[in-house]
Amino acid sequence: MHVLYWLPLVIPLIAAMAARPLADRLPPRTATWLLASGAVVLAGASCGVLGVLALAAALRLPFVDAMGGMSLSAVSQRDPASLPLGIFASALLAAAAIAACRAAWLRTAALIAAHRQTRRMPRTGARASSVDAVIVDDDSVDAYTVPGWPSRIVVTSGMLAALGPAERDVMLAHERAHASACHYLFTAVARLAAAANPLLGPLATEISFSVERWADENAAAAAGSRSMAARTIAKAALAATSASTARARSVALLGVVPSAPANRGAGHVPRRVAALLAPPPRRRLLLVVLAVALVAIAGLSALDAAHDLHSMIELAQAAAA
């Protein structure tokens, strides 16, 4: 097998190291789209190459060649993958498929459970951007958006008590941004990609950060003050860590808001506050081009590997004929 065929298995490591710099330096909307699409392509390319390696190694088996009407000697001349490598690739591919299916099942079940829970909650009667706002009588300090059609914003009474009137508007603008931009789709795609290829875990983490930053920028624009948005985020985070937050596991699985427990520290909050206190991020075309080129190389390498395998099979069948 050509050395370029290994690139889809190596490039996810580079992407994992580049994920945080991209999330910090690019506008959040751009970073979210770039990281999410990159995660999908890299996961597909790596799984595709594993499938090619498994099938190429299987061509070394005489009964496989006989079933496909191929010449074993012609196959051997093209230097396919070794049988142990094919077995290892098959095991990785099976593990990736099982992990992705499990992640999809858990996310779907969480979505259904969250909607069942919010349907039982009383509505406030207020509507904004076609999104229902639900106030829950709960002392915990929390606010999140339950995805779906329509999405619903859930705010605890503890959160409302912790914020002033202007800060409540910022918080609601933040959650409306999650709902209107369907941020849960980006986090869902990223987590499925990371389940299929664990090397992409840092991309999923940074996508969770970038969608929060995206919503932060929308809230700052709605409030007309970046410092007000930063103060609201910091105040809500401090209030949440000082109280006992009892968010449902099903909602945490949706990935719409950071799902890290409070006892693990502030998480993304300091980065978000620092970003709001700094000037808005500039568009960096060179970074985007380099990232797209890296992902494209992985995708093209996987396609080239599949094309080479197809050519090998055709030549082996022609030699047998």
Looking at residue 149, its pLDDT comes to 66
Structure confidence by residue, pLDDT tens digits, 72-102:
666 666 666 677 888 898 999 999 999 999 9
pLDDT band at 192 (very low <50, low <70, confident <90, very high): very high
Q: Lowest mean pLDDT: which of 64-78, 81-95, 205-219, 279-293?
A: 64-78
Distance CA 310, CA 314 (A): 6
Mean pLDDT of 284-299: 93
Which secondary-structure segment (H or E) carries 128? strand 127-128
Distance CA 97, CA 113 (A): 24
Q: Lowest mean pLDDT: which of 78-92, 114-128, 134-148, 221-235?
A: 114-128
Looking at residue 80, its pLDDT comes to 62
Torsion angle in degrees (nearest 10) through CA of 187, 192, 197, 200? 0
Structure confidence by residue, pLDDT tens digits, 103-127:
989 888 877 777 676 666 655 444 4
For the chain, give the number of residues. 321
Which secondary-structure segment (H or E) carries 217? helix 201-223
Q: Encoding tokens for residue 189?
A: 């795609």
Looking at residue 42, its pLDDT comes to 96
Looking at residue 2, its pLDDT comes to 64
Q: Encoding tokens for residue 1?
A: 């097998």
Nearest one of 3, 47, 34 to 196, comparing CA atoms:
47
Whether residue 152 is predicted with pLDDT greater than 50 in this model: the reply is yes
Looking at residue 245, its pLDDT comes to 41
Nearest one of 6, 11, 7, 35 to 210, comparing CA atoms:
35
For residue 247, list its beta bridge partners. Answer: none
Residue, of 116 and 285, whose pLDDT is higher? 285
Which 8-state DSSP code applies to residue 149? S
Q: Encoding tokens for residue 238?
A: 């401090």
Let me know: does 11 contact 42? Beta carbons within 8 Å: yes
Distance CA 110, CA 114 (A): 6
Let me know: does 305 contact 47? Beta carbons within 8 Å: no
Q: CA quadruple 162, 259, 206, 30: dihedral positive or negative?
A: negative
Nearest one of 306, 278, 222 to 51, comparing CA atoms:
306
Nearest one of 136, 142, 171, 135 to 244, comparing CA atoms:
142
Residue with tokens 């380099």: 290
Distance CA 94, CA 86 (A): 12
Mean pLDDT over each residue of the chain, to the nearest integer: 81
Looking at residue 74, its pLDDT comes to 62
